[in-house]
Amino acid sequence: MSDTAVTPSTETFDQFGLAPDILKAIVEQGYTTPTPIQAQAIPVVLSGRDVMGAAQTGTGKTASFSLPIIQRLLQHASTSASPARHPVRALILTPTRELADQVAANVHAYAKHTALRSAVVFGGVDMNPQSEQLRRGVEILIATPGRLLDHVQQKTANLGQVQMLVLDEADRMLDMGFLPDLQRILNLLPKERQTLLFSATFSGEIKKLAATYLRNPQTIEVARSNSTATNVTQTVYEVAEGDKTGAVVQLIRERGLKQVIVFCNSKIGASRLARSLERDGVVATAIHGDRTQNERMQALDAFKRGEIEALVATDVAARGLDIVELPAVINFDLPFNAEDYVHRIGRTGRAGASGDALSLCSPNERKQLADIEKLIKRPLDVQRLTVDVPVRHHHEERSPRREREGREGREERGSGRRRASSGSGAGGSSFERPHHHRQAPVDDFFSKPYEPSPSSRKADEVADVPVNKVASKQPLAALLGGFGMPVRKSTSS
């Protein structure tokens, strides 16, 4: 990795010419130094030029586009109550609800001292409050593609005055099959606009998308690397498939991990592992595409509050999660796509902190391990792990079904969008329980098999993965990202 990837920028936010109201919000966020992507992207976005930015979540990329967007829109800020004075001028598209929510929280914080309004729309929740907010008018709209199109169809969102568009995590949007939705949305936007495309990887597909929709973009790369953050210690443990649950319990206990994300390749695998961990006294819950939006948000909040020790996640559900100071991630399964490994372990060791990436590798995952080593261009430290934690219900992890699901049940290739919740939320779920180890799960979600809903549009709209639209992954071109995040100063407010 080059020095530039770890050397904090010496610039300050003052030199971008941002308005005092924005600078005040930055100070309140505790940011003192722009991250490398911010140092490079902010002036270019301010100049009005299109950008093709190579950056992963965790590099500070949200502020790198949000701050200059807010600055550029300030001339239109209006305190008028009239919706006509608050058309959508900036549209930020993200692949997942979690990322949309995080981006929206950031935009809201950065614009809080201005009269600019922002809103977020994503599927899986009631459309009405979103419609209400859109009717009152917002200048900055953050959206997942499917729900945005629903609002367009219902005429609650008008995109005719959008002058700035952000495609955030564009590679993941394509991976998830959103290209047709993106094309529909792009066709609704004015041709005269500024387009910013952010992507962790620049595959051929991404380049094609950029060539079609961007005009003479400035390419911004903070650090070219297919490698992983240097502050993350990576260890691979060779274990038998049937010992993996015991291995997770053992690693959590031996290392005293209080907060860990455990990655599984399938939704069913994630549910099953969470259930097994609970039986072994680890406070765990699963987040994946079959859980309602409310359940996912509640799980995430409970995890952030420290009430859940192990968040068992699939790649789609975990995409874009920003959990500050996450000490470790465990790969229960090695991902089928090596690129996902880099995304997964990027959940730890953020903002300059150190982290551990612990991966379990069974004999039938050696190919995946080789692919990862090829991608990151170095061998990983492989150790043998003797599992001596007795695990109850062990046989579940050995069931032949698991083998099948490992291949077929992968969420991104999965059977499509999540079933619609009938507004049940996560009431009575395990997230609300007091923080102590329990012996039995109370969330009956874990004992229910996965049932895809009748394929209605309504059901479709709650998920991020469109049915029948899942594009095959392109070979990886490059994984780019900056890991030189300055340490965030704590704020008193």
Residue 459: both structure tokens together: 């059901």
Minimal distance, residue 53 CB to ligand AMP, in Å: 11
> Which residue, 319 or 418, is less far from ligand AMP as judged by CB?
319
For residues 273 and 279, what is the distance between their CA atoms, to the nearest angstrom?
10
Minimal distance, residue 324 CB to ligand AMP, in Å: 6
The closest alpha carbon to 145, from 101, 91, 95, 194, belongs to 95
Minimal distance, residue 66 CB to ligand AMP, in Å: 8
For residues 313 and 472, what is the distance between their CA atoms, to the nearest angstrom?
21
Return the residue of 291, 344, 347, 488 that touches ligand AMP, per CB under 6 A.
488
Stretch that binds ligand AMP, among 17-25, 55-63, 255-263, 339-347 (CB under 6 A): 55-63
Minimal distance, residue 366 CB to ligand AMP, in Å: 33
Q: Which residues does 393 contact at the CB level (< 8 Å), separation at least 6?
A: 276, 279
Count of residues interacting with ligand AMP (CB under 6 A): 16
- Please list every residue from 301 through 330 that binds ligand AMP, using CB under 6 A: 322
Tell me which residue has its CB nearest to ligand AMP.
Answer: 62
> Which residue, 167 or 186, is less far from ligand AMP as judged by CB?
167
Residue 33: both structure tokens together: 């130094």
Return the residue of 22, 54, 57, 89 that touches ligand AMP, per CB under 6 A.
57
The answer to whether 114 and 70 have CB atoms below 8 angstroms apart is yes
Would you tell me how many other CB atoms lie within 10 Å of the CB of residue 105? 15
Q: Does the footprint of ligand AMP cover residue 59 (CB under 6 A)?
A: yes
Q: Does the footprint of ligand AMP cover residue 94 (CB under 6 A)?
A: no
Residue 353: both structure tokens together: 């902190």
How would you label 258-288 residue by residue, b for 16+ Cβ within 10 Å and e otherwise?
A: ebbbbbbbbbbbbbbbbbbbbbbbbbbbbbb
Interaction mask 146-185, ligand AMP, x per CB under 6 A: ----------------------------------------
Return the residue of 36, 53, 58, 414 that touches ligand AMP, per CB under 6 A.
58
Return the residue of 62, 163, 359, 421 that touches ligand AMP, per CB under 6 A.
62
Interaction mask 8-47, ligand AMP, x per CB under 6 A: -----------------------x-xxx--x---------
| Distance of alpha carbon 265 from the chain centroid | 16
Return the residue of 61, 72, 108, 193 that touches ligand AMP, per CB under 6 A.
61
> Which residue, 456 or 491, is less far from ligand AMP as judged by CB?
491
How would you label 148-173 residue by residue, b for 16+ Cβ within 10 Å and e otherwise?
A: bbbbbeeebbebeebbbbbbbbbbbb
Q: Which residues does 350 contact at the CB level (< 8 Å), separation at least 6?
A: 58, 322, 323, 324, 325, 326, 485
DSSP states along 125-168: S-HHHHHHHHHH--SEEEE-HHHHHHHHHTTS---TT--EEEET
- Please list every residue from 351 through 410 that binds ligand AMP, using CB under 6 A: 351
> Which residue, 13 or 336, is less far from ligand AMP as judged by CB?
13
Q: Which residues bind ligand AMP (CB under 6 A)?
A: 31, 33-35, 38, 57-63, 322, 351, 486, 488
